[in-house]
């Protein structure tokens, strides 16, 4: 059973699924704008675990800020939100 779980985890790329929004590593300027706009520190941004399947193809490291572009159901336009990568417990 353990083998089957490892097989599935290593062969299925969830980033192409229609329900998974686009994930990108945010640029330094995007992070700076984010922190200035919301007057917050990097520690106050919500988190995402480094083992999240959506990050598998990004090569994101702990401390990176991830920009997630979700299409707004109201406006139909991309509405980005951000998460900081942390180590999974």
What are the sequence ranges of the domains in the chain?
Answer: 2-86
**Taking every pair of C-alpha atoms in the chain, what is the biggest distance, in angstroms?**
48
Provide the CATH topology of domain 2-86: Eukaryotic RPB6 RNA polymerase subunit (3.90.940)
pLDDT tens track, the chain, 89 positions: 444 455 445 556 776 777 788 889 999 999 999 999 999 999 999 999 999 888 888 889 999 999 999 888 888 888 888 999 999 88
Query: Which run of H or E residues covers position 70?
Result: strand 65-71
DSSP-assigned letter for residue 1: -
The pTM of the full predicted model, rounded to 2 decimals, is 0.78
Q: What is the pLDDT of residue 11?
A: 56
């Amino acid at each position: 059973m353990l083998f089957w779980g490892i097989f599935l985890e290593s062969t299925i790329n969830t980033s192409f699924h229609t329900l998974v929004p686009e994930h990108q590593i945010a640029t330094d300027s995007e992070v700076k704008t984010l922190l200035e706009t919301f007057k917050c520190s990097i520690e106050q941004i919500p988190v995402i675990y480094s083992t999240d399947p959506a990050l598998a193809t990004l090569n994101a490291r702990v401390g990176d800020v991830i920009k997630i572009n979700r299409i707004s159901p109201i406006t139909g336009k991309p509405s980005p939100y951000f998460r900081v990568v942390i180590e999974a417990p």
